[in-house]
Amino acid sequence: MPGLKNIAFIINRDKSGAPGLGRQLVALAEKEGVTVDVIDTFPIPEGFLEGKDACCVIGGDGTLLSAASEASRTGVPVFGVNRGSLGFLTTVAAEEALESFGSVLRGDYLLDRRSMLECRKPDGTPGGVALNDIVIKVEKTGRLATLRVQANERNVTEYLCDGLIFSTPTGSTAYNLSAGGPIIEPQARVIAMTPICPHTLSNRTVIFHQETEIRIHNPMESGVLDVTLDGQRHFSVNRGEELRVFISSRTFNLMQQAGYSHFSVVRTKLGWIGGREKGRLPGGD
């Protein structure tokens, strides 16, 4: 991959150790002759990533998700350094970053293109894009949602549940997994629809192919739906209105260190320990 000449840093100052690590990585970049811009406030302003070769996020997955929309709009790849908890997106540990960041700046990295979801508001205007998920719930907590779902204008079913999660493969290890949904290989171009606490126990995750447009209708007499994108942005869907969800034409470019393995990260983060010490499997990985 080409070396980096102009890089943006997004540093979550509320994460322990992030500011200090940020200063160290900025110094490494400047030593390599890289032009640097730094920000530590959220959300990042539109245009902040324009003209950048890459963006280094230092924080947790939420910090990275806050930059996902702007990064996908500009096509700028993102390198995530974890100072949060699990870190499925910010997979690089602080000590790894300090050791390998110079190599990354010189072009020694992989580029992983992740699909995103997009939605249309009831009036047809864009609702935004999501790297992890789009979640629909009733605005008033404690109430069940009634949601009618169509896929490419064919009826799927009517759900009585706490809500619905529409997840990308990237987001399959987030809220989708907590709600009992499947883990999906990141390069699969599919949408996972997982009901949250469905009234009918046979309601399980449905996987839709990449050409599917899903329509979610709100038939409730007195229930306004809250739509959340990546836990960051919200809007409402009123009675009689519908929301459309589909795979976006935009992608998110995630930078990974050479030798990165998605399922190695999954095994480590989820504590998958089999019969072998520390979950190591034959054949490397």
Side chain identity at 97, as an amino acid letter? A
40 an active-site residue? no
Query: Residue 258 has what pLDDT?
Result: 82
Side chain identity at 94, as an amino acid letter? A
Query: Residue 284 has what pLDDT?
Result: 57
Q: Torsions phi, psi of 15, nearest 5?
A: -90, 130
Side chain identity at 3, as an amino acid letter? G
Homologous superfamily of the 6-107 domain (CATH): Probable inorganic polyphosphate/atp-NAD kinase; domain 1 (3.40.50.10330)
Query: Residue 277 has what pLDDT?
Result: 52
Q: Which of 61, 133, 162, 230 is catalytic?
A: 61
Side chain identity at 105, as an amino acid letter? L
Query: Residue 135 has what pLDDT?
Result: 98
Query: Residue 23 has what pLDDT?
Result: 97
Q: Torsions phi, psi of 162, nearest 5?
A: -75, -20
For 205, the token pair is 């995750």
Query: Residue 245 has what pLDDT?
Result: 98
Query: Residue 143 has what pLDDT?
Result: 84
Angstrom distance (rounded) from CA 39 to CA 142? 38
Query: Residue 204 has what pLDDT?
Result: 94
pTM: 0.92
Angstrom distance (rounded) from CA 274 to CA 57? 33
For 252, the token pair is 């998110």
Domain ranges of the chain: 6-107, 116-249
Query: The domain 116-249 is classified under which CATH number: 3.30.200.20, 2.20.25.10, 3.20.20.70, 2.60.200.30?
Result: 2.60.200.30
Query: Residue 221 has what pLDDT?
Result: 84
Low-confidence ranges of the chain (pLDDT < 70): 141, 274-285
What count of other Cβ atoms lies within 10 Å of the Cβ of residue 35? Answer: 14
Side chain identity at 28, as an amino acid letter? L
